[in-house]
């Protein structure tokens, strides 16, 4: 069974130095945008990416914060209320089934979580399903090298395996973004992809 982040340590997700080695803006800048769009943050935790994304959007645009852990979603809801962000919708999900309709999402992100997935291909299929025809999925996870923090080295997934999974799930136009020191960031497009 893969390493799973313990929700009891959720305060670690807000450690002060995280903005230095994983600034949210760097990832959010590469997301596509369009009026009335909806976004998904798969494995959203307490909202490190979901909340700043919601703040950038118009009130009628939505961010679905998806997580398997109720404690994470409870904290996401609290923080969204505190910031008056009515466009954040916290939903409990499973890895193999995301509770959103097909074609509902312009872009989905998943950060620091791919190494935790028990069925990564099932999750990628679900991400493909919920994306609009021109939608994009952006994954960021820990490079399989020693870093000052992060999951055990033996649990980290090489970017080549993620690339293979994206292809198998139907994604095309796969490319990497060199924006973080400790993480790879890889993107796949649904446009023209087939399954």
% of the chain at pLDDT higher than 70? 92
Can you tell me the mean pLDDT for 123-130?
97
Query: What is the per-residue pLDDT across 14-65, written as a single tens digit (0 to 9) for each?
Result: 777 888 999 999 999 999 998 899 999 999 999 999 999 999 998 889 999 9
Q: Residue 78 — very low, low, confident or very high, per pLDDT cuts 50/70/90? A: very high
- Smallest CA-to-CA distance from 77 within 87, 67, 61, 90 is with 90
37-189, CATH topology level = Rossmann fold (3.40.50)
Assess whether pLDDT exceeds 60 at residue 9: no
H helices then E strands: how many in the chain? 6, 7
In angstroms, rounded to a whole number, what is the distance separating the alpha carbons of residues 85 and 48? 14
Query: What is the per-residue pLDDT across 83-106, written as a single tens digit (0 to 9) for each?
Result: 999 999 999 999 889 999 999 999
In angstroms, rounded to a whole number, what is the distance separating the alpha carbons of residues 70 and 38? 22
Distance of CA 74 to the CA centre of its chain: 18
Q: What does the domain layout of the chain look like in residue ranges? A: 37-189
In a 10 Å sphere around its CB, with 0-12 CB exposed, 13-18 middle and 19+ buried, how is residue 135 labelled? buried
């Amino acid at each position: 069974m893969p390493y799973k982040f313990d929700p009891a340590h959720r305060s670690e997700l807000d450690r002060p130095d995280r903005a230095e080695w994983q600034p949210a803006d760097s990832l959010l800048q590469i997301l596509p945008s369009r009026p009335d769009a909806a976004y998904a943050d798969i494995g959203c935790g307490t909202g490190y990416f979901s909340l700043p994304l919601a703040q950038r959007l118009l009130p009628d645009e939505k961010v679905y914060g998806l997580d398997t852990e109720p404690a994470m979603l409870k904290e996401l809801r609290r923080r969204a209320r505190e910031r008056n962000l009515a466009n954040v919708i916290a939903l409990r999900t499973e890895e193999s089934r995301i509770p959103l309709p097909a074609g509902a999402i312009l872009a989905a992100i998943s950060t620091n979580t791919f190494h935790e997935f028990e069925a990564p291909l099932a999750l990628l299929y679900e991400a493909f399903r919920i994306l609009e025809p021109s939608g994009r999925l952006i994954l960021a996870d820990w490079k399989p090298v020693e870093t000052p923090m992060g999951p055990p080295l033996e649990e980290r997934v090489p970017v080549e395996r993620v690339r293979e999974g994206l292809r198998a799930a139907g994604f095309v136009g796969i490319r990497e973004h060199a924006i973080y020191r400790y993480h790879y960031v890889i993107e796949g497009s649904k446009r023209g992809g087939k399954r």
